[in-house]
Structure 1
Amino acid sequence: MRMRLWVLAFVAWVGLVGASPASDLLQQAVGELRTHYYGYSPVDWDVLAEQSGHELEQACTGQPQCGVETAARIIARLVRNIGDGHTFYLSPQRYQQFRAWLAGQPDSTPIYGITIPAFSDGRVLIGEVRPRSAADLAGVRPYDRVVAVNGAPISSLEDFRARINTDQPVQLTLLRGEERLQLTLSRQPYSLPVLPTLHAPRGLPEGVFVLRIPDFAVYQQIGPRVHQLVLEAQANGAKALIVDLRDNSGGEETECQGAPGAFVGNFALEMRTRSASVPFGYADGAILGNDPKDPNPPYHLEQPARFTGRVAVLVSRGTASCGEIMAYVLQQFGGIKVIGQRTAGVMNTATEFWPLADGSALAITYVRTFKTSGEALPEYVTPDIEMVYDPEAIARTGRDAMLEKALEVMGIR
């Protein structure tokens, strides 16, 4: 009866607004949300739909063919009002970018292959360095600090970006710890997705490596690469690994099932939708499941690793979704200490995308994650050791306090 009343109400709004692309799009969006949402928000769909319908009615007054851009603004507000970080609206352009990210499709524009998380006191901090990118091949490493471009000091982040925005080679003056380096690099086309990296920052004791995982976006590449890098670290005499998940934005469920297995071995959780239940975990190199809407099947790792040395995990407020799952599994199944800030808070759900008629899409929470006991996972990871992630301090001082704390926690001097 309630559904019938809602349908009648929406028909009334359409009658007031007049049949239009805008009313069709709003009706589709509300229908998808009502049908598929399986998160924890206590949203009242009837109230939210009624409010959105009246808002569209007012916005479309005097417009017989009210355009989809009007509905898009209302849909975006409607979704924000749900209050679920895993449910959001994507414009047509943003949806295409998201699909490319999940498919691991790189931008064809020539790049250096670096990200810049902070600028402080005339120093630019290097964040990610993509494997085999121009920056990587030139010798740039994560957490290097750039103090000059072509010999001239940097006055601002905008100044830095303007001076490297060239197709000519640029010379970067870097600080790596207390060492001063000069490296020359040129932007190059890049065909690889963002992948995990393994490095030994200057100043860390011998045998200690940092495994940096920026995200879990690309199916059948992140998990296998984590295992590959763990094997590489072991071959190079690693006695300890620091797993850096700071600002990891999440990604494919298969990948954050496979990656933890390199540290904790077998583990089991469970994913549920409104109508199905599937395993979520890892067993002897096998990824156990995937959410039912995802067309990518579970798979088996060809060369699984198992690290038995000391491990610590770094997280931040920006560690989300699959990044949170990875940290949680290492903490709960491996007894591995987590250092950092309480994470984003979308660990116990997963999202999928429902395209809309204008090329936009809704990301809708439609999976919940549970322990095998039936207890829902917490929303976020609570670190064992609370510390603030401060990239500006790293840029200013050259010291990563969280890395130093990881060494202390692992008993390494």
Structure 2
Amino acid sequence: MSREELEMLDTQLSGHFSGVGIAMRKVKNEIMVVQVLEGTPAQEAGIREGDVVKEVDGRDVTAMDLDEVVMLIRGPEGTTVSLGIYRPSSPELLRFEIVRREIQIPVLRKEVKEGGVGYIQLTDWTEDADQRIREALSELEGEGARSLVIDLRSNTGGYMDPAINAADLFLRQGVIVTSRGRVPGTDREYQADAEASWDLPLVVLVNRGTASSSEIFAAALRDNQRCTLVGETTFGKGSIQKIFRQEDGTGIRLTIARYYTPQGVNLDEEGLVPEVLVKNPVVGEEDLQLEKALEIARTST
């Protein structure tokens, strides 16, 4: 992995970074702002969704890759970055001087849906993902949730330990996952403890983009008859990898073990097949998968 790739991964999995608080996407060779996070320097400065980033600190970024632009905008907390913004409603390039702050990545979103169904969407298994889920469960229960949907669609993984700890929040007994290392004597079985934070009905929502730590979590609950799995067959990544950091800031990613579900299955290239298979339409915004998950959760209370 290059230094830039490693820095981006570290930021993604830490759950926070120092920057201005915008999400960007490359659209027709333009760096477009697709989201402005609430309560961030970018929002306070007046950056809007749909703005196009043309310059960063006086440098033309039109021909740059998205990752390069992201790294230019991020920087030490308290420092200033200058953005040159094109906005269709303005004939001239708009310039913003923005002081960077620590930004919390919104990896978890929660709400209580109709019928008393709690809903948690998790986008990454960050270092503190299990704690965020624990807090969300407590808040949802206090808001009257009587069942729960956890949405892991397109969650490609992250740290393994938070996924194991999160699965333990829903289990009173049973195997969560087993890892088998390449070196003799490194095998390990992870068991649930006797306590659980959520005993009410649970649905886990997955798709082809659900992988790695997300599959560990989903398989642990499914194999222990603790949830109903809804959606599409998952990606199928059954390996545990470790990044060995080099002195020059780059990293080498190596497979050090394989993991096995409570039923003893390695998911490499196979994935988890949900009990309830649902595909979303290719065209349109209708979310049939979420609708089915909510329906099952409502009727399970």
Same fold (TM over 0.5): yes
- Given that 2:21 and 2:103 are in contact with CA atoms closer than 8 Å, whether structure 1 keeps it comes out as no
- Given that 1:314 and 1:338 are in contact with CA atoms closer than 8 Å, whether structure 2 keeps it comes out as yes
Q: CA deviation at 1:356?
A: 4.5
Q: CA deviation at 1:167?
A: 9.3
**Aligned CA distance change for structure 1 residues 411 and 196 (closer, same or farther; 3 Å):** closer
Tell which deviates more after alignment, 239-248 or 188-197: 188-197
**How does 1:8-407 map onto structure 2 within 5 Å?**
90-106=1-17, 108-112=18-22, 133-134=38-39, 160-162=50-52, 189-200=101-112, 204-218=113-127, 221-268=128-175, 269-275=177-183, 276-284=186-194, 306-346=197-237, 348-356=238-246, 358-371=248-261, 375-379=264-268, 380-389=271-280, 393-394=284-285, 399-407=286-294
- Given that 2:115 and 2:298 are in contact with CA atoms closer than 8 Å, whether structure 1 keeps it comes out as no
**Aligned CA distance change for structure 1 residues 367 and 407 (closer, same or farther; 3 Å):** same
- Given that 2:180 and 2:187 are in contact with CA atoms closer than 8 Å, whether structure 1 keeps it comes out as yes
**Aligned CA distance change for structure 1 residues 271 and 191 (closer, same or farther; 3 Å):** same
**Taking structure 1 as the reference length, what is the TM-score of the superposition?**
0.51
Name the one with the larger helix percent: 1
Distance 1:161 1:356 in 2: 38
Query: 3-state DSSP class of the match of 2:134?
Result: helix
Return the letter of the residue paired with 2:145.
Answer: A
Return the letter of the residue paired with 2:266.
Answer: L
Distance 1:256 1:246 in 2: 15
Return the letter of the residue paired with 2:111.
Answer: H
**Aligned CA distance change for structure 1 residues 403 and 376 (closer, same or farther; 3 Å):** closer
Query: 3-state DSSP class of the match of 2:188?
Result: strand
Distance 1:110 1:363 in 2: 30
Q: Match for residue 29 of structure 1?
A: none
Q: CA deviation at 1:92?
A: 2.3
Q: Deviations over 1:88-126 (max 9, x none)?
A: xx12221232233333441x22114x688x9xxxxx997
Stretches of structure 2 that go unaligned for 5 or more consecutive residues are 28-32, 56-82, 88-97
**Aligned CA distance change for structure 1 residues 378 and 188 (closer, same or farther; 3 Å):** same
**Taking structure 2 as the reference length, what is the TM-score of the superposition?**
0.68
Q: Deviations over 1:309-368 (max 9, x none)?
A: 22211111111100111111121113421111111110x221001234654222111111
Distance 2:194 2:129 in 1: 17
- Given that 1:209 and 1:240 are in contact with CA atoms closer than 8 Å, whether structure 2 keeps it comes out as yes
Q: Match for residue 295 of structure 2?
A: 408
**Aligned CA distance change for structure 1 residues 104 and 411 (closer, same or farther; 3 Å):** closer
Query: 3-state DSSP class of the match of 1:264?
Result: coil
Q: CA deviation at 1:190?
A: 3.8
Q: CA deviation at 1:390?
A: 5.6
- Given that 2:15 and 2:126 are in contact with CA atoms closer than 8 Å, whether structure 1 keeps it comes out as yes
- Given that 1:262 and 1:306 are in contact with CA atoms closer than 8 Å, whether structure 2 keeps it comes out as yes
Number of aligned residues:
246
Name the one with the larger strand percent: 2
Q: CA deviation at 1:191?
A: 3.1
Distance 1:99 1:324 in 2: 21
**Aligned CA distance change for structure 1 residues 330 and 161 (closer, same or farther; 3 Å):** farther
Please list every run of at least 4 consecutive aligned residues from structure 1 whose deviation after the TM superposition is greater than 6 angstroms. Answer: 165-168
Distance 2:102 2:280 in 1: 29
Query: 3-state DSSP class of the match of 1:243?
Result: strand
- Given that 2:13 and 2:124 are in contact with CA atoms closer than 8 Å, whether structure 1 keeps it comes out as no
